[in-house]
Chains A and B, each alone.
Chain A
Amino acid sequence: MTFLGHVITGLSLGSIYAIIALGYTMVYGIAKMLNFAHGDVIMVGAYICFIFVMNLGLPPLLGIIIAMAVCTVLGIIIERLAYKPLRSVPSLAVLITAIGVSYFLQNAAQLIWGASPKSFPTTFFNFGGNQGFTLFEGQLNVNYAAIVTICICVIIMIALTIFTSKSKMGKAMRACSEDKNAARLMGINVDKTISVTFAIGSALAAVAGVLMCSTYPTLMPTTGSLPGIKAFTAAVFGGIGSIPGAFLGGILLGLIETFTKAYITTDLSDAIVFAVLIVVLIVKPAGLLGKYRPEKV
């Protein structure tokens, strides 16, 4: 029973990593840049939802939708102001800008909402007055939040896969990912495509923020930074640029982390997670599902 409990914990943690990783991987795949501010967009999304639900008393679902809308706009603004002017310069400059944006968001959040932590309501996913249900005569507690998180993650992954393979915009994204200049010559509006990518990535970040804070209900200006880094790791682990890869990477990272804590040691859980990552990258440099393309010179 304990084992099953750990599996559920790991899957729910992994699903949160996966949703964040999907945002990283989309942006990397299409714009070829690492958006290190992604983790902080998560934090902004969680704050927006918190304010609308706790302070203004709106229903949680509406809160999530507003958070998604605000983050979508925020993502587009960040892209326009901070990244677009740097489209033609070396990628290192964009990377540093992204780190700058990350600090900017953290400090702005502290200015607006203060440094004190806020506690997300633990009754956010409440069905019939219960936070969860028990199985096997009370030996196993399952949270609704965990189940909802896992389901939403799977839905998002499938929806994104269909979107990129079937829709017109999705095809444009894949074209930009292959070769931006060629895509432009074919009449694809590259700037618009990249903006849409950021919009989708940021909306996902808002969802991830709300899900994360309803499972782990502490909200601070720095809340998003570490999950952001973990999710980035998950994206690389699964093969950055690949949507199923980000999903797989996130879930595996969550499971490995939980099992390490449960059965090996809590002291070294992070060390072991990253050691696994190194081994995987040595064996498969492009990640589990990534395509290895040698640089043509």
Chain B
Amino acid sequence: MKKVISMLLVVAMCLCVLAACGAPSTPSTPDNSGSSQPSGTTTPPADGAVVIKIGGIGPLTGGAAIYGIATQNGAQIAVDEINALGGDIQIEYDFQDDTNVAETAVSAYNNLKDWGVNIIYGTTTTSPCVTISSETYADRYFQLTPSASSPDVTAGKDNVFQMCFTDPNQGVTAANYVSEEGLASKVAVLYNNGDAYSTGIAQGFIDQANTLGLEVVTEQTFPADTNTDFNVQLTACKDAGAELVFMPIYYTPASLVLAQASQMGYDPLFFGGDGMDGILGIEGFDTALAEGLMLLTPFNATATDERTVSFVEKYEATYGEIPNQFAADGYDCIYAIYEACQQVDGLADMIANGDNAALCDALIAIFTSGEFSVDGLTGLGMTWQANGEVSKAPMVVGVENGAYVTK
């Protein structure tokens, strides 16, 4: 009897774990019973419409889940909008969890191939994306990543394109801004040296700062795993007399940096990259700590243009939170793919024959034609270079009175 009970408990436990894995794929807000949209299902296609299968990959569980879930949800909204238009192109959408691990991403990718995917959307984070982009390059799938920003993702692979800035570009842009606006002459850089994203931006920033004559008084780093205590690094920045601390790090450690700087009475100008976006959305975060913080981000959820307002409203209604930049990047990716697909000749045949290589080549030709441009949430008139990098105008956002204000 005891054995039976314990076996039942083991089964229950396993189910709970599986449920936890699957949970983020459906919106978890309690008040959406009227508008539930499980991922992967779409409204039935209109007669004669071409159905493209877009498969997304990103972390839905684990430490990076916030980014994966945002890209999944943002894209879902775009898919629903496009399908509701009832045009010639309909999208079937699936999103697989990679837990921010390259090996899992490969399994996710194989699942999508079994499903009959036509275009790969993702992956959300850089290190799995480097692996997956090699796979899609070999298999000839068109791939567009919302947020994997390392140049390694696209290097030598003609089929991979990015929606976000590359890391070094972001650093260069930030240094230019600091110099042009005369924000500071002595700057410190604080970055995560165990993370390609953070290191890439920091290097771009430091090189450009040296070129422009900004004095980088200290470079402080922290390893990827030990990211809770920044007292030592902040003391070094303070002692070096930095007026501005550039920290191209994600918002979770950044919130700790701000709290600890405040505790030690150090108040420089903090300047972050796009990973800082979302810091005001942390539950329980004292937004007074972020007062004066500036960040480079392609998306501001409080902007008043029609597109942004409509997207933010839909996202909030469905998922119960304010979308961040990752969600906006995801939304733009789906529209970019959709708009490019509209220009593909013989799309119906390619999809019907499952000729993904031909589709891939056609999309590459369109993306790199120089004439193809997309207006999205994260930029107007976005174009792509042959190396997969996006060209769009950067935007600097500051925190004033607990809200993002576009500078």
Which A residues are within 8 Å of any B CB, using their own CB?
A: 2, 5-6, 9, 13, 50, 54, 81, 85, 100, 103-104, 107-108, 110-111, 114-123, 131-132, 134, 138, 141, 143, 212, 216-218, 220, 222, 226-227, 257-258, 261-262, 266-267, 269-270
Contacts and interface: CB of A to CB of B under 8 A. Distances in A.
B62 A258 contact: no
B380 interface: no
Contact of B63 (A108, A111, A212, A220): A220
B9 interface: yes
Nearest to A230: B226
A117 B24 CA distance: 15
Contacts of A108: 16-17, 20
Given A85-B6, A116-B281, 15 more contacts: A103-B17, A107-B20, A108-B20, A110-B65, A115-B65, A117-B283, A122-B286, A131-B263, A143-B263, A217-B256, A218-B228, A218-B253, A226-B225, A257-B226, A267-B223
B24 A107 contact: no
B255 A217 contact: yes
Interface residues of B, number: 50
26 contacts: A2-B239, A9-B232, A54-B283, A110-B23, A110-B65, A116-B282, A117-B282, A119-B255, A119-B283, A121-B284, A132-B263, A134-B265, A212-B228, A216-B228, A216-B229, A217-B255, A218-B228, A218-B252, A218-B255, A222-B63, A226-B225, A227-B228, A258-B229, A258-B231, A262-B235, A262-B236
A220 B229 contact: no
A133 to B, nearest CB: 11
Among B6, B228, B232, B263, the most chain A Cβ lie within 10 Å of the Cβ of: B232
A172 B48 CA distance: 78
A100 to B, nearest CB: 8
B183 interface: no
Given A5-B235, A117-B255, A107 B61 contact: yes
B304 to A, nearest CB: 25
Contacts of A267: 193, 221, 223
A103 B236 CA distance: 37
Contacts of B236: 262
B284 A115 contact: no
A94 to B, nearest CB: 14
Nearest to B238: A2
A262 B19 contact: no
Contact of A261 (B62, B232, B264, B284): B232
B223 A270 contact: yes
Nearest to A138: B265
A189 to B, nearest CB: 19
B28 interface: yes
B66 A81 contact: no
Contact of B226 (A100, A121, A226): A226
Contact of A115 (B69, B282, B289): B69
Contacts of B262: 122
A227 B225 CA distance: 10
Contacts of A258: 229, 231-232
Nearest to A120: B284
Interface of B: 2, 6, 9, 13, 16-17, 19-21, 23-24, 28, 61-63, 65-66, 69, 193, 220-223, 225-226, 228-229, 231-233, 235-236, 239, 252-253, 255-256, 259, 262-265, 281-286, 289, 321
Given A107-B21, A138-B265, A266-B222, A118 B13 contact: no
Contacts of B256: 216-218
A258 B226 CA distance: 11
A195 to B, nearest CB: 17
Nearest to A225: B63
A53 to B, nearest CB: 9
Contacts of A115: 24, 61, 65-66, 69
Nearest to B64: A115
Nearest to A114: B28
A216 B23 CA distance: 28
Nearest to A259: B232
Contacts of A227: 228
List 8 A-B pairs, minimum CB-CB distance, nearest first: A107-B20, A115-B65, A119-B285, A216-B228, A111-B20, A261-B232, A119-B284, A118-B283
Contacts of B62: 222
Contact of A269 (B223, B264, B282, B289): B223
A81 B6 contact: yes
B226 A269 contact: yes
Contacts of A217: 255-256, 259, 284
A147 to B, nearest CB: 12
A9 B232 CA distance: 8
B231 A5 contact: yes
B65 A50 contact: no
A119 B282 contact: yes
A217 B16 CA distance: 28
A220 B19 CA distance: 19
Contacts of B221: 266-267
A237 to B, nearest CB: 16
Given A269-B223, A270-B223, A119 B232 contact: no
Contacts of A132: 263
A237 B19 CA distance: 38
A94 B17 CA distance: 19
A177 to B, nearest CB: 26
A54 B281 CA distance: 15
A262 B220 CA distance: 10
Nearest to A103: B17
